Amino acid sequence: MKLKSLKAGFTLVEIMIVVAIIALLASIAVPNFMRARLRSQAGLVKDDLRVLDSAMDQWAIERNKKTDDAVTFADIKGYIKEGSPLYTGKDILGGSYVISKVGTLPAMAAATATSLSSVTDAEYWSPFSKDGL
């Protein structure tokens, strides 16, 4: 009785085709992932602006402040959850939020707006803006 030797496996060409297909799928997926990540960061910044606006309103009501009275981040810090990322006054990209006076909406740093401009437009940020503009 003869033993037959079977050599089974993939050829180099087959392996190269599989690698090429994986590279093609990755080249499609990575940009979409990066865009989704930036869009998520933009949403977080917009939510932070809403929280800051509410904190400013609450501070003004409790202190009997009127429109155009000066307000600083230190003034409203007590109205933000301690330990949250927003408690530092910085956004997810490291920019500082702009807070100036009662009745004026908080704004994001210009650098943050620039970083997120590829996934957002001015309408997305409405009513908020960059650097209080």
* pLDDT category of residue 132 using cuts at 50, 70 and 90: very low
Q: Is residue 130 part of a domain?
A: no
Residue 132 domain flag: no
Domain that holds residue 77: 12-125
51: in domain: yes
User: Do the domain assignments include residue 131?
Assistant: no
Taking only the tens place, the pLDDT of each residue in 5-49 is 667 788 899 999 999 999 999 999 998 999 999 999 999 999 999
What pLDDT digit, counting tens, does each position of 50-97 carry? 999 999 999 999 999 999 999 999 999 999 999 889 999 999 999 999
Query: Does 133 reside within a domain?
Result: no
* Residue 4 DSSP symbol: P
pLDDT score, position 127: 87
Query: Is 21 part of a structural domain of the chain?
Result: yes
* Residue 112, domain member (yes or no): yes
Q: How many domains does the chain have?
A: 1
CA angle 87, 91, 96 (to 5 degrees): 85
pLDDT for position 133: 43
Task: Name the residue among 114, 119, 85 with its Cα closest to residue 130.
Answer: 114
pTM: 0.78
Mean pLDDT of the chain: 89
Residue 2 in domain: no
